Chain A
Amino acid sequence: GEDVEQSLFLSVREGDSSVINCTYTDSSSTYLYWYKQEPGAGLQLLTYIFSNMDMKQDQRLTVLLNKKDKHLSLRIADTQTGDSAIYFCAEKKGSASKIIFGSGTRLSIRP
């Protein structure tokens, strides 16, 4: 199947860590992505991980990949108000041009 699943909402307190989870179904996926969509804008690539990696860290962002469970997570440390957005998990299979997107998780930050 091609489903990529995410929970729809997450609310965290400013300064805490946010963890956004995603499950995918295709074990042949080569790249897995996190895209960010700010209000009224298109999506932008936030970070990605290649399927032969377990973890990738980039400043406040940590991506964890569990291939056995087909589970991907994005951790944002020290969450700020500017992190309020919708975060999309996505996967690419082999050499295909297509990317399959999840439904998106809306992250809201409370003071």
Chain B
Amino acid sequence: NAGVTQTPKFQVLKTGQSMTLQCAQDMNHNSMYWYRQDPGMGLRLIYYSASEGTTDKGEVPNGYNVSRLNKREFSLRLESAAPSQTSVYFCASSDRLAGGLNEQFFGPGTRLTVL
């Protein structure tokens, strides 16, 4: 089992460029998440998908779109990158058990720099 995989690991963009961050999980999890991590800010939820076919905004959705392509894959798109989107992006997945532990499993992250 690879767990949660993310591509690419590193990316440099110019302001205004677009790109898609890819995430896949092989644990048959229902829920998937995208976070960004900035120094001193911890992890902030961008979007999440509680189950296949649904997506919801998190704390900081502006400037991003997501697609839950199937149960395994959840992509994050930046349509017009801005320097404020320079960050480390983490994808995570979990079983969606009502009232349950909801342990989240994280990918290794994508380090994005926008110039």
Interface residues of A (CB under 8 A from B): 4, 8, 30-31, 33, 40-45, 48, 88, 92, 94-95, 97-99, 101-104
Q: Which of A31, A33, A98 has the most CB of B within 10 A?
A: A98
Cβ-defined contact, A48 with B42, below 8 A: no
Chain B: residues with CB nearer than 8 A to chain A? 4, 31, 33, 35, 40-45, 48, 50, 58, 90, 92, 94, 96, 98-99, 101-104, 106-109
Q: List 23 A-B contacts (CB under 8 A).
A: A31-B101, A40-B109, A41-B108, A41-B109, A42-B106, A42-B109, A43-B43, A43-B92, A43-B104, A43-B106, A45-B103, A48-B101, A48-B103, A88-B43, A94-B99, A97-B102, A98-B33, A98-B48, A101-B44, A103-B40, A103-B42, A104-B42, A104-B43
